[in-house]
Amino acid sequence: MNNVLVTGGTGFIGSTIVDKLVENGFNVYCIVRKNSNLQWLINKKVELIYSDFSNLDDIFQKFNQINYVVHVAGIIAALSPIEFYKINSELTNNLINSFTSYSKNPLKFIYISSQTVGGPAKSLLEPISEADFPNPLTNYAKSKLKAEEYIINYKDRINYTILRPAAVFGERDPGILQIFQLVKNGFGTIIGLKDKYLNLIYAEDLAIATVNSINSILANNQIYYIAGEEKFTWNYLLSQIKNSFKKDKIIKIRVPDSIVLILGFLNGIKAKIVNKPEIFSYEKAIDFTQNYWICDTTKAREQINLKTDRKIEDLLKKTADWYMQNGWIK
């Protein structure tokens, strides 16, 4: 009754969730590709299932003892909107269909979605909540919303929990690495001529919330925003990262929103020319230029015991130290 399949378990967020599941006594199975980097799964109590996701029916027929699925896998960059929907939306639909069709006792489907599904808040005093109508701004966010809709359509066949985390950070994170590298070299970039505000979520706190979602009956058929309670500006975060490296000062450069959007557009053209998707694109620039990526996490704190008590400066230092100790930053 505690067998869980994780997709995306080789990545930053997925592997952190895998660690927490193993720690809590779950029997963990991970779908991985033959060419996947298994660095975060080596020597861990995890059974690997090699697949390119084209044979999901076969997987769940063979591993029909699986009770839970934690679906983390997806793409954050693509050359066309179709790719987002194919991987983030259609794959999710196929996964939950195979799970509910062939598992002997399917109990719950946990989906790691995104705060971007809800869209930005209107003001600093009006964080978005689960009661608000979704307002995704990009094809990535729209594809995650479509995946949520597919999952909800299965509510008569299985319980689900959808988690919408804010920007995730922590050890193993390649996404925010460049920001730390720049600060280590004495520079910091701030988007916009005026301060923008955002919530963050430490990866381990998201992982704990994921485990709590599996164990909580209150979480059945619910959606939660997952984030820390504090609202930060990039100016403040860069200062804390600077302190992590014990630097006296850094040069902070503010880049107008219009320039960010132009650079994102040009990067998208480059991606199509070289036929390789870029994480920083026009759509990502749209996200970066929003003023308020903030959300209300009251529901998650009350129903799945979301805890984000550790100080941001301590967590950023812990992340910076990990980058240094593992040679990601020299």
Q: In whole angstroms, what is the distance from residue 305 CA to residue 303 CA?
A: 6
CB atoms within 10 A of CB 107: 17
Q: Let me know how many helices (H) and strands (E) the chain has, helices first.
A: 12, 14
Mean pLDDT value of segment 63-71 = 97
pLDDT over 90, % of the chain: 98
> What is the set of domains in the chain, with CATH numbers?
3-170+200-227+294-309 (3.40.50.720)
Cα 61 to Cα 28, 66, 104, 158, distances in angstroms: 17, 10, 9, 17
pLDDT digits (tens, 9 = 90+) for 196-233: 999 999 999 999 999 999 999 999 999 999 999 999 99
Mean pLDDT value of segment 288-293 = 97
Confidence class for position 237, pLDDT limits 50, 70, 90: very high
* Residue 35 reports pLDDT greater than 80: yes
Q: Can you tell me which residue has the tokens 């400066």?
A: 313
pLDDT digits (tens, 9 = 90+) for 300-330: 999 999 999 999 999 999 999 999 999 999 8
Mean pLDDT value of segment 134-162 = 97
Average pLDDT, rounded, for the chain: 96
42 φ, ψ (degrees, to nearest 5): -65, 135
Mean pLDDT value of segment 136-157 = 97
pLDDT digits (tens, 9 = 90+) for 69-121: 999 999 999 999 999 999 999 999 999 999 999 999 999 999 999 999 999 99
Q: In whole angstroms, what is the distance from residue 168 CA to residue 281 CA?
A: 19
